[in-house]
């Protein structure tokens, strides 16, 4: 008898991906064939896990829903369900505008899909996921929601207050994933810095990292999405002391001018930001910092933007992403500010910012030529094995390319390599020896 097929399409961030993986495991336990991000869904059921963060992401999610609604009308799929951030935020509007969807769910009640299909949620599988990533790494979501009040951000509106998972539950999840072969964990949250405050009444991120790093089989732990105000500095000690805690920190700064930081409601100053970066680099020599910057927030002047460029040249971030301000309903900025930076100027500033960063990244890569580094191999692609160092997160950071003819190299395994060459973003290497 042919299995029923479920197609799950995930939009947006890695936090959404974890939700999809949990739902996939539930469907598999019920005997369904589950396919993730198929280019051409053909199953009995299609489920879209949406993103509602900014304009471009919302548009992509809506276009995906519309395409699948058309597939349903053409009888390529039988049922269509929508979940995630966009439907949490705009459920009534979506129900009115795209009635072809069988049912909409929010960010947190997606397990009701199972009930509506005549099955039951398996509580005994609550720690289990069907990984969509390569088998050797996984994302570990340590909390939901956010207590910050940044002017531009809709996340607290969508997800509500910060809710930390217990350390014990996270240990259980990591142990299960290690048994499945996972070696590398990307710790993710909307705000890592706040972890534990709601549950334990104090910042618990350093203790969490220590306890997870003690679990046998955890080779790399990497930290994503810290908040700069009230940063838990003890994390830096843990990073220095623990070999399996990557010297890598993703901390979104957004801007540097006092004018912008105040407008954005970021709760720290330019001077404090400079001090933070200097202290991080002092306490963890060799650390690679990833940050995110925003251009075009209401009130951003040419002088504000020049300060931002100067800051980039000073800080020399190893990794940086950026996005243009999006005027989002419900936010403080939407209610109190005029979206007064023209889109053309936003784009111009974005291009200039990324060009400065490109030069910085290229120079940092050139400095690595001739050094030995440890890499984990993610995949084999045409002429190369493609890996990453401890300084590179999957999907967003540079990669290390090794000739596909190299012996003793395998996907999911570590190797020690010599960096032979570099371009603006990627490194080229030869293997010194496989590690483990």
d(CA 22, CA 126): 8
Q: Are residues 335 and 413 in the same domain?
A: no
Q: Are residues 307 and 379 in the same domain?
A: no
Is the CB of residue 121 less than 8 Å from the CB of residue 111? yes
Q: Are residues 143 and 22 in the same domain?
A: no
Q: Are residues 221 and 342 in the same domain?
A: yes
Element (H, E) at 277: helix 270-283
pLDDT value for 1: 52
Asked if the structure places residue 232 within a domain, the reply is yes
DSSP, collapsed to helix, strand or coil, labels residue 135 as coil
d(CA 180, CA 135): 8
**292: closest CA among 327, 317, 326, 271?**
317
d(CA 110, CA 56): 24
Q: In tens digits, what is the pLDDT along the chain, a chain of 436 residues? A: 567 999 999 998 899 999 999 999 999 999 999 999 987 888 899 999 999 888 788 899 999 999 999 999 999 999 999 999 999 999 999 999 999 999 999 999 999 999 999 999 999 999 999 999 999 999 999 999 999 999 999 999 999 999 999 999 999 999 999 999 999 999 999 999 999 999 999 999 999 999 999 999 999 999 999 999 999 999 999 999 999 999 999 999 999 999 999 999 999 999 999 999 999 999 999 999 999 999 999 999 999 999 999 999 999 999 999 999 999 999 999 999 999 999 999 999 999 999 999 999 999 999 999 999 999 999 999 999 999 999 999 999 999 999 999 988 999 999 999 999 999 889 999 999 777 6
Q: Are residues 255 and 352 in the same domain?
A: yes
Element (H, E) at 401: strand 400-403
Q: Are residues 107 and 209 in the same domain?
A: no
pLDDT value for 117: 92
d(CA 185, CA 160): 25
- Residue 171 belongs to a domain with what CATH number? 3.80.30.20
Asked if the structure places residue 172 within a domain, the reply is yes
d(CA 317, CA 24): 37
Q: Are residues 280 and 428 in the same domain?
A: no
pTM of the model: 0.95
Asked if the structure places residue 170 within a domain, the reply is yes
Phi, psi of 164 (to 5 degrees): -80, 140
| Contacts of 85 by beta carbon, 8 Å cutoff, 6+ apart | 12, 16, 50, 51, 52, 53, 107, 158, 159
- Residue 75 belongs to a domain with what CATH number? 3.40.50.12160
Q: Are residues 377 and 297 in the same domain?
A: no
Q: Are residues 89 and 223 in the same domain?
A: no
Find the domain containing 110 and state its range. 5-125
Asked if the structure places residue 131 within a domain, the reply is no
Q: How far is CA 135 from CA 139, 184, 302, 374, 436, in A?
A: 11, 10, 47, 19, 16
Q: Are residues 395 and 307 in the same domain?
A: no
The DSSP bridge pattern shows strands 220-226 and 245-251 to be parallel
Domain count, the chain: 3
Asked if the structure places residue 130 within a domain, the reply is no
Q: Which of 367, 396, 413 is the last residue of a domain?
A: 367
pLDDT value for 154: 92
Q: Are residues 263 and 160 in the same domain?
A: yes
Is the CB of residue 107 less than 8 Å from the CB of residue 88? yes
d(CA 306, CA 328): 25
- Residue 413 belongs to a domain with what CATH number? 2.40.50.140
Q: Are residues 204 and 247 in the same domain?
A: yes
pLDDT value for 245: 98
For residue 117, count other CB atoms closer than 10 A to its CB: 17
Q: Which of 98, 125, 152 is the last residue of a domain?
A: 125
| Contacts of 7 by beta carbon, 8 Å cutoff, 6+ apart | 35, 36, 38, 41, 42, 43, 45, 46, 47, 77
Q: Which of 367, 388, 413 is the last residue of a domain?
A: 367
pLDDT value for 424: 87
Asked if the structure places residue 132 within a domain, the reply is no
- Report helix, strand and coil shares of the chain as percent, to nearest 5: 35, 25, 40
């Amino acid at each position: 008898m042919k299995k029923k097929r479920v197609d799950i399409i995930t939009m947006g961030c890695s936090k959404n991906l974890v939700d999809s993986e949990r739902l996939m495991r539930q469907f598999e336990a019920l005997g369904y064939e589950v396919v993730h991000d198929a280019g051409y869904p053909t199953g009995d059921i299609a489920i879209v896990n949406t993103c509602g963060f900014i304009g471009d992401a919302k548009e992509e999610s809506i276009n995906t829903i519309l395409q699948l609604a058309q597939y349903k009308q053409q009888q390529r799929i039988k049922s269509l369900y929508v979940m995630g951030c966009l439907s949490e935020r705009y459920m009534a509007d979506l129900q009115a505008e795209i009635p072809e969807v069988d049912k909409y769910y929010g960010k947190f009640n997606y397990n009701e899909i199972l009930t509506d299909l005549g099955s039951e949620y398996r509580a005994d599988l609550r720690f289990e996921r069907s990984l969509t990533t390569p088998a050797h790494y996984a994302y570990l979501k340590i909390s939901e929601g956010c207590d910050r009040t940044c002017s531009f951000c809709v996340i607290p509106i969508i997800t509500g207050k910060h809710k930390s998972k217990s350390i014990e539950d996270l240990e259980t999840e990591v142990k299960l994933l290690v048994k499945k072969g996972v070696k590398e964990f990307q710790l993710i949250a909307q705000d890592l810095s706040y972890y534990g405050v709601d549950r334990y009444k104090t910042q618990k991120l350093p203790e969490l990292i220590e306890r997870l790093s003690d679990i046998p089989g955890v080779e790399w732990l990497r930290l994503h999405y810290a908040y700069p105000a009230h940063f838990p500095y003890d994390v830096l000690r843990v990073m220095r002391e623990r070999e399996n805690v990557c010297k890598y920190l993703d901390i979104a700064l957004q801007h540097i001018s006092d004018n912008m930081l105040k407008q954005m409601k970021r709760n720290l100053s330019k001077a404090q930001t400079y001090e933070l970066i200097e202290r991080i680099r002092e306490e963890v020599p060799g650390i690679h910092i990833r940050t995110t910057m925003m251009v075009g927030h209401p009130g951003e002047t040419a002088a504000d933007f020049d300060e931002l460029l100067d800051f980039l040249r000073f800080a020399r971030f190893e990794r940086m992403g950026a996005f243009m301000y999006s005027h989002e309903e419900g936010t403080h900025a939407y209610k109190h500010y005029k979206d007064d930076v023209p889109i053309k100027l936003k784009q111009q500033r974005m291009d200039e910012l990324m060009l400065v960063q490109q030069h910085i990244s290229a120079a940092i890569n050139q400095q690595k030529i001739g050094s030995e580094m440890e890499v984990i191999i993610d995949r084999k692609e045409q002429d190369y094995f493609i890996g990453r160092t401890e300084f590179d997160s999957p999907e967003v950071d540079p990669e290390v390319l090794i000739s596909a003819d190299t012996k003793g190299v395998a996907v999911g395994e570590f190797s020690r390599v010599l960096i032979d060459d570099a371009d603006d973003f990627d490194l080229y290497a030869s293997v010194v020896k496989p590690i483990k």
